[in-house]
Amino acid sequence: MNILGISCGHNANVCLVRDGALVSHYEKERFTRVKDDAGNVDDLIRLLLDDHGLSLDEIDLVASSWPVWPERGVTGDLLDGVLYTSVFETSTHTMRLLGRPLPALMIPHHLGHCAYAFHLSGFGDADIIAVDAGGNFTASVVGHGSGSQVVIDHDLAPGSIGSLWSMASRDIFGDPLAAGKVMGLAPY
């Protein structure tokens, strides 16, 4: 099974997962030389497919948390359904991508964070917390993972420690995505 992952938010990227294994990952900023570049990734999709000798007909599923910031440009159009009936559960759709309809799985922002952390942790069962400035109407969640399943149990809204870091990095460095630089000031 070939799964094409796409993200159009900051650090826009595409990836190819074949039979459960990551095959390739292209981040937009590596090609445009614009740090944290966001927006449409049509060109990256074409490049990734071309580099692996694939056509869109060979993609079985598109996975995304689209749309993030439609004003910055997105990739694809949903052809059916409501994007999210819950910010804690995936939803299935048909997406038009590069002119072709494909099955798509929409993954809410924080469920994506939780799944990524859990599935790469090596644990069979674990509690999970995801904290950031925000995405898909929430900023911090608590959940659990067991086997191949990840479930979000609680939304910790309305607070967001991630927003505090974003504001501090914006005030100090003029960039809300520079929280790592703020943390780097700790020894001084």
pLDDT digits (tens, 9 = 90+) for 94-114: 888 898 999 999 888 888 889
pLDDT at 136: 61
Q: For the chain, what percent of residues have pLDDT higher than 90?
A: 44
Report the pLDDT value the prediction gives residue 180, as an integer from 0 to 100.
83
- Residue 95's pLDDT is 85
Which residue is associated with the tokens 């910055």?
Answer: 72
Q: Where exactly are the structural domains of the chain?
A: 2-107, 110-184
pTM (two decimals): 0.78
- In angstroms, the Cα distances linking 175 to 13, 32, 86, 181 are 20, 19, 31, 10
Residue-level pLDDT, tens digit, the chain, 188 residues: 999 999 888 889 999 999 989 999 999 999 999 988 988 899 999 999 999 999 999 999 999 886 555 555 566 766 676 666 676 778 888 888 898 999 999 888 888 889 989 998 999 999 999 887 666 667 788 999 999 999 999 887 777 777 777 888 899 999 888 888 888 888 87
Residues in contact with 76: Cβ distance below 8 Å, sequence separation at least 6, in sequence order: 6, 62, 64, 66, 95, 96, 97, 104
Q: Looking at the structure, give the CATH architecture of the domain made up of residues 2-107.
A: 2-Layer Sandwich (3.30)
- Burial call 72-86: b when 16+ CB within 10 Å, e when fewer: eebbbebeeeeebee
